[in-house]
Chain A
């Protein structure tokens, strides 16, 4: 059974704090993704990575950075959290084949005060 885990289910931070969201997958997937999901806006891709140390910007990378030092781990970093980054953050992983399924982690609901 594929497992994608995220470090926290709920997180509360203050404006200006540096925030780390961690994601780990156990299926040896090459691709990993970070999304945010807000009511009425659907899933929006922040960053994705197709290999260790490789990353590509998604649709809304501003205010975020990522790190992938090991294949199984993909971290999302909010350098200086702001209230407009309050959201549900979803990590996902996927193999490189076009028919491969994308699996999601349970999500982290981040609140920035």
Chain B
């Protein structure tokens, strides 16, 4: 079993709709959770981080964390074609060096 799991997609979303991405993780001791966006041929860039249960909003992005159920999600409101990318979920690993465990990523395609 992979430590961080995401649906690979592609997730097709009409422009203006909400994109909902999910991520589950296996290590109950995980403390920090990150969402990265990666455009084709580019490197990942951080868009959200969340550390405590509940919701965290930043512009059109909302991250949701439920440690009891071991999942973290990302909502993208009013999806735009520029949101078309692969979204990587990353979880602070169990060791003390702060090594992140990455999911394989979910590809999002926003259609006009």
Contacts and interface: CB of A to CB of B under 8 A. Distances in A.
Interface of A: 31, 33, 40-43, 45, 48, 50, 56, 90, 94-107, 109
Interface residues of B, number: 22
B104 interface: yes
Interface string B27-49: 00001101000000111111001
A72 to B, nearest CB: 18
Interface string B81-93: 0000000101010
Interface in B53-112: 88, 90, 92, 97-100, 102-105
A96 B77 CA distance: 33
Contact of A100 (B42, B43, B90, B98): B98
Given A96-B97, A96-B98, A107 B43 contact: yes
A37 to B, nearest CB: 9
Contacts of B34: 101-102
A62 to B, nearest CB: 19
A78 to B, nearest CB: 20
Contacts of A103: 46
Interface of B: 31-32, 34, 41-46, 49, 51, 88, 90, 92, 97-100, 102-105
Contacts of A42: 88, 102-105
B102 A43 contact: yes
A43 B43 CA distance: 11
B99 A45 contact: yes
Contacts of B49: 99, 101
A100 B98 CA distance: 8
In the A-B complex, the 10 residue pairs with the closest CB atoms: A42-B104, A104-B43, A43-B102, A107-B43, A50-B97, A98-B31, A99-B32, A98-B32, A98-B92, A104-B44
Contacts of A101: 34, 46, 49
A101 B45 CA distance: 10
A50 B97 CA distance: 7
A56 B93 CA distance: 15
A101 B42 CA distance: 18
